Structure 1
Amino acid sequence: MDKDRIVGSAKDFAGKVESTVGNVAGDAKTQAAGRVREAAGEAQNLYGQAKDVARETTDAAVSYAKEAYENSGDTFRDGSQAIAKKVQENPLGSMLIAGGIGFALALLMTRPPRRPPTRYYG
């Protein structure tokens, strides 16, 4: 729980007490001051709640990222095992796919660079 929530709740309570005392005494100034303090306390309490929500969200995101990082090795290992199994089941198809990928990469690497169009300003 955030410090602002505690202080805000205390101000809210004090404002309610002050407003009630102003009501009982018939003093409009005390009653208005109590309402102002009560509103300030509610605002500070809401600010503290927002900070708590932001902190909890950040903690959840950090926890999720940490868990994903820790499990990334398992995911990579599972993917590697699945690929190895497919290659063992169909070696000819795997060779054809690898050859196609190599051919496409060779075409991309040996292609001449594109020249920008020549512009005539005249």
Structure 2
Amino acid sequence: MVDTDSVTGTAKELAGKVRGAVGDLIGSDRDSVEGRARQVQGTAERAYGEGKDALRETADRVADAGADARDNAGRYYARAEESVRNAADEAYHFAEDAYDDGGRYLSEGRRAIAQQVEESPLAALLIAGAVGLGIGLLINTRR
């Protein structure tokens, strides 16, 4: 029997891949990082569900071997469950830290650009105009 964590983990993993790809496509760092975080969380949840399935099957097989085997399987199951939960938590925290770092870098970049614009508004205006002209030429040549 497939564990619900496996199914929901796979769905989260797929949704994270899609969101990350969309974020990359539209240039949204936030969507990209959140998508990757969701993907990592989904992968960990899927692995957790698969681990539970495997341990459940193993526990069922050894249950017939007697009370000692059943107790050992329960202990191994609990240890494995804790290990998978810890791995999922670590993966989530890693992704969360990456998201926070990305936001901080974005904020610092915005401040640096704002400072440059304040120091040299004419140069910033010329650069913006050149970029706009370039985009306009690209769009116009594609028609």
TM-score, normalisation: structure 1: 0.51
- What's the counterpart of residue 56 of structure 1? 57
Count of paired positions:
66
1:79-118 alignment, distance < 5 Å: none
Supply the distance in 2 between the matched residues of 1:64 and 1:10 (Cα, whole angstroms).
Answer: 37
Supply the distance in 2 between the matched residues of 1:6 and 1:49 (Cα, whole angstroms).
Answer: 9
- What's the counterpart of residue 74 of structure 2? none
Give the CA deviation at 1:64. 4.1
- What's the counterpart of residue 47 of structure 2? 46
**Runs of 4+ more than 4 Å apart:** none
Supply the distance in 1 between the matched residues of 2:18 and 2:64 (Cα, whole angstroms).
Answer: 43
Give the CA deviation at 1:13. 0.2
**Deviations 1:22-48, CA, capped at 9 Å, x for gaps:** 011011110000000000000100110
Structure 1 gap segments, 5+ residues each: 66-122
TM-score, normalisation: structure 2: 0.44
Supply the distance in 2 between the matched residues of 1:63 and 1:44 (Cα, whole angstroms).
Answer: 29
Residues 1:35 and 2:36 are matched in the alignment: yes
SS of aligned partner of 2:64: helix
Residues 1:15 and 2:21 are matched in the alignment: no
Supply the distance in 2 between the matched residues of 1:45 and 1:63 (Cα, whole angstroms).
Answer: 28
Give the CA deviation at 1:63. 3.5
- State the percentage of identical aligned residues: 38
- What's the counterpart of residue 26 of structure 1? 27
- What's the counterpart of residue 6 of structure 2? 5
**Deviations 1:67-111, CA, capped at 9 Å, x for gaps:** xxxxxxxxxxxxxxxxxxxxxxxxxxxxxxxxxxxxxxxxxxxxx
Structure 2 gap segments, 5+ residues each: 67-143
Supply the distance in 2 between the matched residues of 1:57 and 1:47 (Cα, whole angstroms).
Answer: 15
**Amino acid in the other structure paired with 1:49:** E
CA RMSD of aligned residues (A): 1.5
Supply the distance in 2 between the matched residues of 1:53 and 1:38 (Cα, whole angstroms).
Answer: 22
